[in-house]
Structure 1
Amino acid sequence: MTLVTVAIPTFNGEQRLPQVLECLLRQVNLEKIVWEVLVVDNNSTDATAKITRHYQQTWPSDSSLQYCFAAKQGAAFARQKAIEVAQGDIVAFLDDDNLPAENWVEQVAQFAIAHPQAGAFGSRIYGCFEVEPPQQIAEKIAPFLAIVNRGEEPHQYYANQRVLPPGAGLAVRKQAWVESVPANLFLNYLGQCANANTASEDLEVLIHIQKVGWQIWHNPAMVVYHQIAKERLQERNVLMLLRRIGLSRFHIRMLRYPLWQRPLLSVLHFLLDCAKLLVYYFSLPFDQQRSHFDHLCQREYLWSSLLSPFFLIRKYQLERKIAQKRQKNTPDHEFWLSKISTAFEKQLFCLFVQPIKSLDALNQEPCLVEVLLRLQVDGNGISTFCANDFMPTAVSFSLTQVIDRWVIEEVVRLISTQPVKWSGQHRQTEPLYFVNLSENSLKDEHFAKFLAKLLRYYPYLTHRICFEIPESVLLADINQSTQFIREIRGLGFAIAIDKVSHFSGLKKLLQHTPVDYLKVDVHQLEESYRDLILLQRYPTNEGFCPKLIAIQVENAALVEKVQDLGIDYAQGYAIGVPHSLKILDLVA
C-alpha cells in the first residue's frame, strides 16, 4: 500500500513544474517508504501534460509518477481531484512553485507515523523572491504569500488560536479529508465568473478537519522553498490577493461557530470591522493612506473583510443560478466531465475527417477536409462519442480552449508525419484542414503566440490549416473578431465562417478584413442565394472573393441543387464517401 502521495496541482505550469519534479527526483532516505507523485493538471492550455509524460518515461521504478486531469477550474477542485485519485494514506500537497527540501517526503512519512491523530500538518516555508522586496513589505505580506516559519519545534494548532498552516506544503491524511471535508467547498473559484473569485479554500479544508476532532500540526522538519515571481509582488497583484482573502474572511470566521451562534456573531464581526476601518482612517494622515504601499494593503484587506458577507451572499446566488442553468442545459454534465477528464488522462480523444468536395471538375486548388473531434469509449477507436454529446459540458466549464489546442497540436503532429509528395519537379498540392475554434480561443490573447510558436517548429503549416469559426461568435464583437482574423491570416492560416445567415452583420465584418470561405446550410441556399452572391462580391473587402461551401449535403438531390446554383464546394455524407474517415487512415 502506498504511504505517501505527493500531489502537485498545476495550471499552465510548464515553466515551473520541471523544477518541482527535479526536486522530487532528489529525495533521500526513501528505501522503506512507498510513495508516488501525482500531477493534477487543472485545465492547462500549455505543455503541462507533455512534460509530465516525458518525465514518466524516465521516472525511477522505486516510485511512480501519475497524471490526472481536473476539469473544474480552481485550486479547491484540483485538490479534491487529488484526494479522489491518490493511492497514499497521506496526500502531501506542493504547488507548482514549491520546491521541497531533499528530505521532505521522508519527514512527511515519519511525522504521519509518529502522530496518527494528525489529520493534517504543515511545512516550514521560506520565500525565494525573484526580486527582493523591501524588508518591511516582505514581513507584512509574507503570511498572505504562504511564507510561514512558526518555530523550530513541532506544535499543534488549537481551534481557539485561530491560526492554521497554509495549503502550500500541507500534508493531509486521506481518511481525515474523506470523513470531514464536503465534496464541494464553498470557497472555490468558478473559472468563468471573475466576480466569484475567492481564496482561503485551504483554510476551509483544515477547519472542517479540525471540527470533527482531527489534530492539525506544524512540522518544522518539513521544509519547502516558495518561489515568488516578481509579477506577484506588483502592487495590483498584491492588492488583488488581499482582496480575495478579505472577501473570503466571513465564511472562514462563521465556519468555526455552531449554526445557532452565527447570526449574532456575524453582526458583531461586522461592527468590529467597521470600527477597525474607522480607526484606520482617523489614525493615518490622508497623504499616507494613499502613498504608502503597506497602508494601501491594510486598507484593501479591511474593506474586503467588511464587504465579505455581502459578496459571499452574491456568490452563493450566482453559483445557484449557474448550477440551475447547467442542470437545465446539460443535465448529464457530471458524466461528461468524467469522460472528458478520462479522455485527457488516457488520451482517448481522436480525430476524424470529412471531405469537402469541389464541384468544379477543373479546380486545381488543394482538396479540403474538415477535422471532426470524437471521444473514444474504450480506447480502440471503434465506438466513439460525437462532439455534440460532450461539447455543451465543455463550453459550460470553460474547457473548449484546452480542447481546441489539443486538436490543433494533434493535427500538426499528423501533418508532420505526411511524406512530401512530388509530381515530376513539382510538389503536389497538400490537403487544407478545417479546424473548428471556440469562442474562448477567439478571446484568448495568447492564441496567436501559440500558433506562432508552432510555426517556428513546423514552418510548412502555412496554407495547410483553415480555422473555422461560427458566425454568431464573430459577430458578437466585430472589432475583436477583425483583429483576431488579421492576426491569424497574417501568420498564413485561412479563415472560414460557419453557419452563415446574418448577411448585414457579415458585411460590416468583411469591410475590415477578408475571409477565405463561407459555409451555409444547403437548406437555406435558395432563399439566401442572392445575399450570398452579393456578400461574396462585396466591393469593400479589398477585392477578396471568399469561396462558398454548402454544408449538410446528405443526398444526391441536394448535390444536384448545389451544382445548379454554382456553389464552389459541398460538404456532407453524400459527398465523396458515405462516412467520415479517421484522420490516421487519411495520412497513412
Structure 2
Amino acid sequence: MKPGVTVVICTFNGAALLPETIRHITQQRVESNIPWEVIVIDNASTDDTSQIARQEWHKYRNTVPFSVLYQPRQGLTFAREMAIEEANYEYVLFCDDDNWLNTEYVDTAYHLMLQHPNIGVLGGHGELVYEVPPPSWAQTLPMFGNGPQETRSGKVKRNIVYGAGSILRRSAFLRLFKAGYKPFLTDRNANSLSSGGDSELCYAIALANFDIWYDDRLRFKHFMPKARITWSYYTRFFKERAQCFDVLIPYSILINFGSRNTLSFSLRLMRLFLFTLRQIMPLYLNLLLLRKGSEADKVNRLKLMASEARLLSYRRCFNMLRNFLEILRFQQKELPAQTERSPQHQKKKLKLGVS
C-alpha cells in the first residue's frame, strides 16, 4: 500500500453541515512530500449533498485530489466500505460531516501511522461545539464522539475508539475482507440512530492482531446541531442503540476477556449482567428520592435509560452466543494465516526467538 492519507467524509443529507467541515479540511497544513486526497461518499442523500460538496471544495481552489462518490445502499458501514475500496492511500481518515479537523490533523495522523505499523485504528480527541447552549443534563453521558479515549496516548485497553476522526489502516481491513469478514452491523442508516459500527470495525481489526490506539494530539471539533440535544433525540438514541449490544458484547468478551468456549462466554456474560444490575438498582431508587423534572432527576433518567438498554439486551443471550461462536470460528479458521503476517505478530515471534 502507498503511504498517504485518504480523508473520507461519509454523509447522508449533509448539505447544511459540509461547508464548514470542508473549509477546515482545505486549511490542513500537510508536508509537501505527504500524498493525500479527499473523498466524499454521498450515502443515498435526498438533498443536494453532492452538489454542495463539489461547490464548497472548488471554492477554495485547493489542488489536493477531490472526488464525490455515490453509495446507493444506505448505511454508514456500506459507505465506509466503498471509501476503503476506492481509497488510493494506506491511511483512511474518517472525518464525519460534522467534524472540524485542526490544521495539523492529516500531517500528525500520517506520521503516527507510519511510525507504528502495528496500529490498525487510531483515534483522536473530539471537543463538542454546540449550535445553541445545551441543557446541563445533555452533557452527562458520553453519547457522541468527544473527550479523551484513554488516560494517555497509546494502545487503548478496551480495543475500541469512536469513529469520528479515526484513522484506519487500509491493508488491515483488506486482510479481513480477503479472509471473508462481513460485519453484523450497518451502523447509521438514513435517519436511524442505530450505531456501533465503528466499535465493530475496531474489534474486527483487533481480531487480525492489530492494535487500537489513541493519540491526544489529534484534535478536532465535533459540531452538535440543536436537534441533537433534545430529550426526544436522547430517548430515541438509547432505544435504537440497544440493538448493537447483541454484536458488541460478544466481541468484547472474546477480545477483552479472552473467552474461547461456550462455558467461559456464558460465565462472563452472567458477570456482566450482574454488574449492570448492581449499577441500575440505585438509579431506580433515585426515581423515588429526586424531585421529578429537576436537573438531577433528568441526569438520573438518562443514566437509567442507558443502563436499561444494556440490561434488556441480555434477554437476547442466545443471539449473543450465536454471534460469539461465529466470531470465534472466523478468528480460528479464517484469520490464522492472515495474522501470521501482521506486524504485531512478527514482533511476538521475534521475542519468542522464532525465525
What TM-score results when the alignment is normalised by the length of structure 1?
0.48
The 8 Å contact of residues 130 and 224 in structure 2, kept in 1 or not, is answered as: yes
The residue number in structure 1 matching 2:210 is: 214
> Shift of residue 30 of structure 1?
3.0
Change in Cα spacing, 1:21 to 1:56, as seen in structure 2 (3 Å) is closer
Change in Cα spacing, 1:313 to 1:187, as seen in structure 2 (3 Å) is farther
> Shift of residue 62 of structure 1?
4.0
The residue number in structure 1 matching 2:102 is: 101
- Between the aligned partners of 1:245 and 1:113, the Cα distance in structure 2 is 34
Question: Is 1:278 equivalent to 2:281 in the alignment?
Answer: yes
> Shift of residue 218 of structure 1?
1.1
> Shift of residue 249 of structure 1?
2.8
Change in Cα spacing, 1:223 to 1:130, as seen in structure 2 (3 Å) is same
The 8 Å contact of residues 152 and 220 in structure 1, kept in 2 or not, is answered as: no
Higher relative contact order (CA 8 A, sep 6+): 2
Partner amino acid for 1:37? V
The residue number in structure 2 matching 1:71 is: 72
**Which residue, out of 215, 231, 238, partners 2:234?**
238
**Which residue, out of 141, 162, 170, partners 1:166?**
162
The 8 Å contact of residues 73 and 189 in structure 1, kept in 2 or not, is answered as: no
The residue number in structure 2 matching 1:186 is: 184
- Between the aligned partners of 2:191 and 2:93, the Cα distance in structure 1 is 29
> Shift of residue 227 of structure 1?
0.4
The residue number in structure 2 matching 1:577 is: none
SS in 2 for 1:43: coil
> Shift of residue 278 of structure 1?
2.8
> Shift of residue 128 of structure 1?
0.6
The 8 Å contact of residues 286 and 300 in structure 2, kept in 1 or not, is answered as: no
Partner amino acid for 2:267? L
The residue number in structure 2 matching 1:111 is: 112
Change in Cα spacing, 1:156 to 1:30, as seen in structure 2 (3 Å) is same
> Shift of residue 243 of structure 1?
2.9
The residue number in structure 1 matching 2:300 is: 295
**1:9-48 alignment runs, 5 A limit:** 9-48=10-49
Please say which of residues 116-125 and 256-265 is displaced more in the overlay: 256-265
The residue number in structure 2 matching 1:120 is: 121
**1:551-562 alignment runs, 5 A limit:** none
- Between the aligned partners of 2:138 and 2:56, the Cα distance in structure 1 is 38
> Shift of residue 135 of structure 1?
4.9
The 8 Å contact of residues 288 and 295 in structure 1, kept in 2 or not, is answered as: no
What TM-score results when the alignment is normalised by the length of structure 2?
0.78
The residue number in structure 1 matching 2:225 is: 229
Change in Cα spacing, 1:301 to 1:17, as seen in structure 2 (3 Å) is same
The residue number in structure 1 matching 2:271 is: 268
The residue number in structure 2 matching 1:177 is: 173
> Shift of residue 287 of structure 1?
4.8
The residue number in structure 1 matching 2:155 is: 156
Q: Tell which structure's C-alpha radius of gyration is larger.
A: 1
The 8 Å contact of residues 42 and 69 in structure 1, kept in 2 or not, is answered as: yes
SS in 1 for 2:143: helix
- Between the aligned partners of 1:126 and 1:191, the Cα distance in structure 2 is 24
Among all aligned residue pairs of Structure 1 and Structure 2, give the percentage whose two residues are the same amino acid.
Answer: 24
Q: Structure 2: where are the runs of 5+ without partners?
A: 323-355
The 8 Å contact of residues 12 and 44 in structure 2, kept in 1 or not, is answered as: yes
Partner amino acid for 1:202? D
**Which residue, out of 237, 248, 252, partners 2:248?**
252
The residue number in structure 2 matching 1:50 is: 51
The 8 Å contact of residues 80 and 183 in structure 1, kept in 2 or not, is answered as: no
The residue number in structure 1 matching 2:341 is: none
* Cα deviations by residue, 1:329-354 (Å, 9 ceiling, x for unpaired): xxxxxxxxxxxxxxxxxxxxxxxxxx
Figure out how many residues of one structure are paired with residues of the other and give that number: 310
The residue number in structure 1 matching 2:342 is: none
SS in 1 for 2:220: strand
| RMSD, aligned α-carbons | 3.0
SS in 1 for 2:15: coil
**1:483-522 alignment runs, 5 A limit:** none
The residue number in structure 2 matching 1:307 is: 312
SS in 1 for 2:93: strand
> Shift of residue 107 of structure 1?
0.9
- Between the aligned partners of 2:42 and 2:138, the Cα distance in structure 1 is 33
> Shift of residue 297 of structure 1?
0.6
Please say which of residues 214-223 and 264-273 is displaced more in the overlay: 264-273
* Cα deviations by residue, 1:404-451 (Å, 9 ceiling, x for unpaired): xxxxxxxxxxxxxxxxxxxxxxxxxxxxxxxxxxxxxxxxxxxxxxxx
> Shift of residue 70 of structure 1?
1.7
Partner amino acid for 2:17? R
Question: Is 1:200 equivalent to 2:203 in the alignment?
Answer: no
- Between the aligned partners of 1:210 and 1:49, the Cα distance in structure 2 is 34
- Between the aligned partners of 2:131 and 2:72, the Cα distance in structure 1 is 31
The 8 Å contact of residues 7 and 93 in structure 2, kept in 1 or not, is answered as: yes
- Between the aligned partners of 1:94 and 1:190, the Cα distance in structure 2 is 15
- Between the aligned partners of 1:115 and 1:224, the Cα distance in structure 2 is 22
